[in-house]
Structure 1
Amino acid sequence: MRMMWLGAAVAAFLMQGSTSVSAQNARIDQIIDRFEHANQWRDHVMIVAHRAGWKAGGKITRPENSIASIRHSIDLGVEMVEFDVQKTQDGELVVLHDSWLDRTTTCKGELVKHTLSDLKGCRLIVEGTGEVTDEGVPTLRDMLAAAKGRIMVNIDNKLGVDALPEMVSVARDLGIERQVVIKQNLWNADKIAEMKAVMARVGEGVHFMPIIADDAVRDARFIETATKAFSADAVEMVVWRSQGQGMIADGGPLFGSRARAVAARGDWHLWVNTYPIVNRESGLLAGGRGDELATFASLPEETYGFWAEQGATIIQTDEPEAAIDWLTANGYRTPYDLTN
Structure 2
Amino acid sequence: MQQTINFAHRGASAYCPENTMAAFRRAIELGATGIETDVQRTKDGRLVLIHDESLKRTTGDARLVKDVDYSELSALDAGSWFSDSFAGERIPLLEELLELAKDTELVINLELKNGVVPYEGIEAEVISMVQEYELGERIILSSFNHYSLVLCKEIAPEVKTGILYMEGLYQPWEYAKSIKANALHAYKYAVLPQWVQEAAGHGIAYHPFTVNDEIELERLLRFGVSGIITDYPDRLDAIMRRIERS
| TM-score interval (norm. to shorter) | 0.7 to 0.9
Q: Which amino acid in structure 1 is aligned with residue 153 of structure 2? A: M
Gaps of 5+ in 1: 1-39, 56-60, 241-251, 276-289, 295-299, 334-340
Give the Cα separation in 2 of the matches to 1:105 and 1:231.
Answer: 34
Give the Cα separation in 2 of the matches to 1:110 and 1:214.
Answer: 28
Aligned to 2:223: 310
**Kindly tell me: are residues 63 and 330 of structure 1, through their superposed partners in 2, closer, same or farther at Cα, counting changes over 3 Å?**
same
Aligned to 2:176: 226
Q: Which has the larger radius of gyration?
A: 1
Does residue 152 in structure 1 map to residue 102 in structure 2? no
What secondary structure is seen at the aligned counterpart in 2 of 1:182? strand
Please tell me whether the aligned partners of residues 207 and 228 of structure 2 are also in contact (alpha carbons under 8 angstroms).
yes
How far off its partner does 1:309 sit? 2.2
Gaps of 5+ in 2: none
Q: Structure 1, residues 180-207: CA drift from partner, whole Å, max 9, x if none?
A: 1102348xxxx57x74344212x14421
Q: 1:255 aligns with which of 182, 192, 201?
A: 192
Kindly tell me the number of residue pairs found equivalent between the two proteins: 241
How far off its partner does 1:49 sit? 0.5
Give the Cα separation in 1 of the matches to 2:36 and 2:162.
Answer: 13
**Kindly tell me: are residues 331 and 228 of structure 1, through their superposed partners in 2, closer, same or farther at Cα, counting changes over 3 Å?**
farther
User: What is the Cα-based RMSD across aligned positions, in Å?
Assistant: 2.7
How far off its partner does 1:155 sit? 0.8
Aligned to 2:236: 323
Please tell me whether the aligned partners of residues 197 and 224 of structure 2 are also in contact (alpha carbons under 8 angstroms).
no
Give the Cα separation in 2 of the matches to 1:45 and 1:316.
Answer: 10
Q: Structure 1, residues 95-140: CA drift from partner, whole Å, max 9, x if none?
A: 1112222322365533223101112322321533244434322111
**Kindly tell me: are residues 314 and 195 of structure 1, through their superposed partners in 2, closer, same or farther at Cα, counting changes over 3 Å?**
closer
Please tell me whether the aligned partners of residues 47 and 324 of structure 1 are also in contact (alpha carbons under 8 angstroms).
yes
What secondary structure is seen at the aligned counterpart in 1 of 2:208? strand
How far off its partner does 1:231 sit? 5.9
Q: Structure 1, residues 300-335: CA drift from partner, whole Å, max 9, x if none?
A: 2x21111122232311111111121122123289xx
Does residue 53 in structure 1 map to residue 3 in structure 2? no
State the TM-score, normalized to the length of structure 2: 0.84
Does residue 122 in structure 1 map to residue 76 in structure 2? yes
Q: Structure 1, residues 37-96: CA drift from partner, whole Å, max 9, x if none?
A: xxx32xx332110011121xxxxx312101121111122221111111111111221111
Q: 2:205 aligns with which of 263, 269, 272?
A: 269
Q: Which amino acid in structure 2 is aligned with residue 255 of structure 1? A: L
Aligned to 1:139: 93
Give the Cα separation in 2 of the matches to 1:49 and 1:195.
Answer: 22
Q: Which amino acid in structure 2 is aligned with residue 121 of structure 1? A: A
Aligned to 1:26: none
Q: 1:200 aligns with which of 144, 149, 154?
A: 154
**Kindly tell me: are residues 54 and 198 of structure 1, through their superposed partners in 2, closer, same or farther at Cα, counting changes over 3 Å?**
closer
